[in-house]
Copies of this chain bind each other. A is one copy, B any other.
């Protein structure tokens, strides 16, 4: 039999961790396989045997980021007021994104040819489902009008994503009180669905 395996799951985890760290400070372009391998005291070959290459590595980080993001959103909690819950979920969306902007960027700004893949599709759907659940409750309980839960949830996702993306890119006018504008926007949108 051959020599003992070194490119194992433990190494995979270490690479993933360190890649996430580098990525969250420098962005995808600043992540070099050579530097990463040296950091973890292995060779670039490890990245290829474990992830298939740089896109594979990024996809893995991306999947992990999406998983955590979905987890945060799914623990937002609910009350008996779906409209308020939707606002609260939106606020949590922003908090989660601002907690690690580079991760958010990797997830949603699609740099360096990161193709989602099956796993991430599911994670993406899971990210979306809390909003959908709340919207459904809102429609069922008659808080919202005649629109479909999908419609309502998508719009909420859209405005949260849009404002956060603009904020992270610094495209918002400098003097706006972002948090306040953000929350007020969510409320206006939610109010628009009321029956």
Which chain A residues have a beta carbon within 8 Å of chain B's beta carbons?
Answer: 27, 29, 105, 108-113, 116, 124-125, 128, 147, 150-152, 154-155, 157-163, 165-166, 169-173, 176, 181, 184-185, 187-193
What are 10 A-B pairs with beta-carbon distances under 8 A? A108-B169, A109-B110, A124-B171, A150-B173, A150-B176, A154-B185, A155-B181, A161-B163, A161-B166, A187-B192
A166 to B155, CA, bound (A): 11
Q: Is the CB of A157 within 8 A of B150?
A: no
The 5 closest A-B pairs by CB, nearest first: A162-B162, A188-B192, A155-B185, A158-B163, A192-B192
Q: How many copies does the complex hold?
A: 2
Q: Is the CB of B151 within 8 A of A184?
A: yes
Select A191's contact among B160, B185, B192, beta carbons within 8 Å: B192
Chain B residues, CB < 8 A from A190: 192
Q: Is the CB of B154 within 8 A of A172?
A: yes
11 further A-B contacts with Cβ under 8 Å, apart from A109-B109, A154-B173, are A108-B165, A108-B171, A111-B111, A116-B170, A155-B181, A155-B185, A155-B189, A158-B159, A159-B159, A165-B165, A188-B193
A155 to B187, CA, bound (A): 10
Q: Which residue of B lies closest to A189 (CB)?
A: B189
Chain B residues, CB < 8 A from A176: 150, 154
A58 to B150, CA, bound (A): 38
Select A181's contact among B111, B128, B154, beta carbons within 8 Å: B154
CB distance from A121 to the nearest CB of B (A): 9
Select A163's contact among B162, B166, B172, B188, beta carbons within 8 Å: B162
A124 to B170, CA, bound (A): 11
